A and B are shown apart, each in its own frame.
Chain A
């Protein structure tokens, strides 16, 4: 316990250095500015801004990342409230009531309760992260390669099959990601797989190229293809920006309840912010003293899901930092940010670079505070960004998206891959395949493979090693149950329907 305080104080000292404060400020600012653009969620915000951090040192870059991450989340909820186009499924619950509030001329208090709720939830959840992480690290140092492999199987299944609309389509996305992860030189034997004699493919598929292609280019193509359907409408922020006493009274309990839903679910290697946000929404709907307002803009319905969303975002950092296990597309992008410096999050990083890890955790607190202080007064500026006409907005997004790839690898092959992933992202949206599992498959697939091969090399090729470790056997059992559960439940549902 005392160790945590000492480590956190040390991290604060790192994060409070003037240069690092400046990086955090730039991160928060850029993250909000990009995150506020319609159709851009936090994962894409991080992917688009990754090239900006190429030239910084790892410490400064990670601190800027923390700011981008929280800024992107904040910007996403602003968009959800003001134009009802949630950039990602985690903001859908916010959009339900938030957009109704904006339509009723209460956009200001909706933005305020979401900002303050995000701050409260983010702070509590980051404290949770700081205390949970060392404990989990102690636990994780005892993990063998077979345990890591089993843990990744759990993440694969829960991310793609258990919670999606269709387990078949979710798993299809995951396997496309796993296939892309095979491309390039095999690290253990030096042999090239799926490179087809193209030298650029030997290095493998870049996570940023995949994410920017799927998210930015794919989204632009998708929105363009159905432009004739409906125009988005921007709700102006009318009236007071501040919350009344009544608003405060109705907001603080949902903030805390949302945090209680968000953090533990985010910290589980199951991932996804959708579940806690919708749990929070339905809980607030049941507990409210103003049920008549739900569906017409109830402040509880904004406060709770927003807090849950931010708390689960901090929660996903627990498996990411302690186990190197990303459970959301955003966390996968954060992992890519670590990897560009050759850093691998996990127990070792806590031991070897405590300044980096604790500096990052401390700057989460700072970024959170900056967002609260900066963004409420600046909301007018963000609203103006939202009002950019759609043609220029998407043209600008695509210029920025291709710029990242051009700066990293200005080759025809890399740009063609970006375009191909864009078309793939468009088709996946059109045919309702989830996108996050592709990114997670690409980034986790190679790690899972090397852990499995290491485990089998140690056991001299005996596959029973996976079941002899109690940890790994339990985790594989959980993965199997999580894989079969949606099919069994669907079967039960059909059985019931037939009985009626």
Chain B
């Protein structure tokens, strides 16, 4: 007889607690339903027969409210599947990289600078510490992609100061 089989509690006990993230998800679904109804209420009904454009949003909103209730019940019962621990830092690094990319494209910095910024932050998020080396790699790769797709496949990628030199 090994002691651990006897002393182990049924795993149900801790899982019964209210799952706060689940409550937030249910609330978000309810808010989404409210937005749908609010938006649909501003549409003038012009169709003579059948459904106008405002009918389907209301139907989907009703579905979302029911699903919000379903998610809330799961959360209150603690029925959600177990989650592994997570490290938030890399997630924020990548989101920061995406924000940088959007800002550089928005201010006309061009494709190469924008995607290089994303490359460097993502690579750092996955544990690389050699920022200078990665910067060099990022610039080379994105320049090659730019040349291949802009010149060969004639996709139009936004040009900034670096692209004008090519």
A residues adjacent to B (C-beta < 8 A): 51-52, 54-55, 165-166, 168-169, 171-172, 175-176, 178-179, 182, 186, 188-189, 191, 193-194, 196, 217, 220-221, 224-229, 390-392, 394-396, 398-400, 402-403, 406-407, 410, 412, 415-416, 418-419, 422-423, 426, 430-432, 449, 452-453, 456-457, 459-461
Contacts and interface: CB of A to CB of B under 8 A. Distances in A.
Given A403-B149, A419-B99, A395 B138 contact: yes
30 contacts: A52-B153, A54-B155, A166-B74, A168-B74, A172-B67, A172-B71, A175-B29, A191-B53, A221-B94, A224-B93, A225-B86, A226-B85, A226-B87, A391-B123, A392-B123, A395-B122, A395-B134, A399-B119, A400-B145, A402-B118, A403-B111, A403-B145, A406-B105, A410-B158, A412-B102, A415-B102, A426-B91, A431-B25, A459-B50, A460-B50
Interface residues of B, number: 73
A463 B110 CA distance: 53
Contacts of B111: 403, 406
B150 to A, nearest CB: 9
Contacts of B70: 168, 171-172
B94 A398 contact: yes
Contacts of A186: 53
A194 B35 CA distance: 8
A398 B118 contact: yes
A403 B119 CA distance: 12
A259 to B, nearest CB: 33
Interface of B: 21-22, 25, 29, 32, 35-36, 39-40, 43-44, 46-47, 49-53, 56-57, 60, 63-64, 67, 70-71, 74, 80-81, 83-88, 90-91, 93-95, 97-99, 101-102, 105-106, 111, 114-115, 118-120, 122-128, 134, 137-138, 141-142, 145, 149, 153-158
The winner among B91, B138, B154, B158 for most chain A CB atoms within 10 A is: B91
A14 to B, nearest CB: 23
B87 A399 contact: no
A32 B45 CA distance: 50
A132 B149 CA distance: 39
Contacts of B60: 175, 178-179, 182
Contacts of A431: 21-22, 25, 80, 83
A461 B55 CA distance: 12
A52 B148 CA distance: 11
Contacts of A461: 49-50
B132 to A, nearest CB: 14
A292 B152 CA distance: 55
B36 A194 contact: yes
Chain B interface main SS type:
helix
Contacts of B134: 391, 395
Contacts of B71: 168-169, 172
Q: Nearest 10 A-B pairs (CB), nearest first?
A: A456-B50, A391-B126, A224-B90, A168-B70, A395-B122, A186-B53, A391-B123, A461-B49, A225-B86, A419-B98
Given A228-B87, A407-B156, A189 B52 contact: yes
Given A171-B67, A224-B126, A225-B86, A399 B53 contact: no
Contacts of B106: 412
Given A395-B122, A461-B49, A423 B90 contact: no
A403 B134 CA distance: 19
B77 to A, nearest CB: 12
A434 B39 CA distance: 27
Given A55-B153, A407-B156, A193 B142 contact: no
A419 B67 contact: no
A416 B102 CA distance: 7
B64 A407 contact: no
A199 to B, nearest CB: 15
A220 B88 contact: no
B50 A403 contact: no
Given A182-B60, A227-B90, A410-B157, A395 B101 contact: no
A225 B64 CA distance: 29
Nearest to A188: B53
A52 to B, nearest CB: 7
Contacts of A224: 87, 90-91, 93-94, 122, 125-126
B118 A392 contact: no
A175 B155 CA distance: 34
A225 B53 contact: no
B134 to A, nearest CB: 8
Contacts of A229: 84
